[in-house]
Structure 1
């Protein structure tokens, strides 16, 4: 199972509030909801997140055995 490592907190710390993300259309609201609930996001979304946060995908998620 893939778990996200507080992606929304990392975005907020980098200055990306949910308001700013919506206003600048950086990430769709449906995708933000998936991140909140631990849903599956696309590699395009991971690319956007890594670009915004200047990080690697492994900094945003981890694999945990069931």
Structure 2
């Protein structure tokens, strides 16, 4: 998948958001979190919007496009 969420995972860790806290505070769904962690599947724009609001950032701060050389 050409969209990578490594920046998001680093930002979550930096701001103290664990998997437990994300689930407890119902920030995003478990399935969305799993998609982000595995890099498989599409993330809804509402999820991206909610993450940006919670983390006080822009979409470019949490994801990046990486060209897939196999395509």
User: TM-score scaled by structure 2?
Assistant: 0.80
Match of 1:56 in 2: 58
* Counterpart secondary structure, 1:6: helix
Match of 1:29 in 2: 30
Gaps of 5+ in 2: none
Q: Aligned residues, how many?
A: 66
Which has the greater radius of gyration? 2
4+ residue stretches of structure 1 with deviation over 3 A? none
Gaps of 5+ in 1: none
Aligned pair 1:38/2:28, yes or no?
A: no
For residues 29 and 14 of structure 1, what CA distance do their matches in structure 2 show? 19
TM-align CA RMSD: 1.3
Alpha-carbon contact 1:5-1:59 (below 8 Å) kept: no
For residues 18 and 64 of structure 2, what CA distance do their matches in structure 1 show? 23
User: TM-score scaled by structure 1?
Assistant: 0.84
